[in-house]
Structure 1
Amino acid sequence: MPKLVDHEERRAHIIDALLRSAANSGLHSVTMRSVAIEAGVSVRLVQYYFDTKEQLLLAAMTRLTARMGERVQRRVRASGATDPRGIIEAVLLEAVPTDEESRAFHLIHTEYAVLSVTDPALGGPRFLAAPNEMEAFLTAQLTAAQQTGTADPQLDPRQEAVVVLAVSAGLGLSVLLGQRTAEAATTVLRYHLGRLFPG
């Protein structure tokens, strides 16, 4: 009796091969052939699951974003934080590349963002969904902190959510570039949070 093929598992295997390849040599150098070689399968099989490179890239970003969400949730749980400041700090610290997985996430995500600027097939609402959700989440946390008196009541929660996300993304990039260490980036993030939560 022939072995049944788990199509979702095979798709995931191909996507993971793309992510490994992109983490090692950059997203710009990824081709259907390089993904096939990394996955140990034929180009035809990659094309069976993904008609175009764009489809493969979109699937990879969806998987990468889901993994990042899982890492954020694990960090929040591990921190034991139940207050808005602790939760926000745990979320933002995940934006600092501190290991191979988080480094790969930031590298690939940054490259993808740049590619999506010039390739409409890669951009649009799908790419912005996760950042918009995170912005809304941080806005809600800052609003809750104001209601409990732990955050500056004069702040505009929505604007501050935009600022902290921009700060964390910029710090993550500076770590990737070697401009500063992960420890230095963490210090900057905590310094900024101290201004939002003066108590």
Structure 2
Amino acid sequence: FTPKPLTVAPRMARVRVDDLDPRIGEPLVYGLMEGLPEAGYVQLPGMEEAFDAAMTVIGAETYRACHALLDDPRLGDDVRARLSAAGAITPDQLEQAEDVRTRFTTEVDAALASVDVLITPAMPTVPPTLDEATDPAKVLPLTRFLRPFNLTGHPAIVLPVLGELPLGLQIVGRKGADAQLCAVAEWMADTCPMFRKEEFA
């Protein structure tokens, strides 16, 4: 597809999320108030369940594709533990996850019926240190706001946000509207001071 610049400001809505680290939440809230004051709020009650379902689906798919590597000495201990745990996913759990996929897809489609994009933080907390990154309990929750849309197949883009910490804002568009989502991302980067633009030679 070929992205086309927007001719009018996009319609946007912020997704309400819980348990957001203040170090993430406060810069995003104030940045959005300054840059996108008209963006309202929507609820996606099934988002947490969709995250769990996405982890189930990706775990089952990864185990099916990579289980032969479990005894490979080149595999990191953390990856081996996650791959081994994925082997315990049952067909019933996978079926339940697919049911969640269907329900949450309907929920997201309904939220996008009246706006062009949905907005969420990219991560619920700041990234772990290098030492902490070997602990799956520290790493896996970082994708809490991302994986639900991997599950449904809605296109999404993360825009980096200015600040001392690595911050990002995710925008989610309608299925099949990838070109529009790219145009919205460009509009936001050009319009809102909270985003940093990288200049490449």
TM over 0.5: no
TM bucket, shorter chain = under 0.3
For the pair shown, which has the larger CA radius of gyration, 1 or 2?
Answer: 1
Kindly indicate whether structure 1 or structure 2 has the higher relative contact order, using CA contacts under 8 Å at least 6 residues apart: 2
- By percentage of residues, which structure has more strand? 2
Tell me which protein shows more helix as a share of its residues: 1
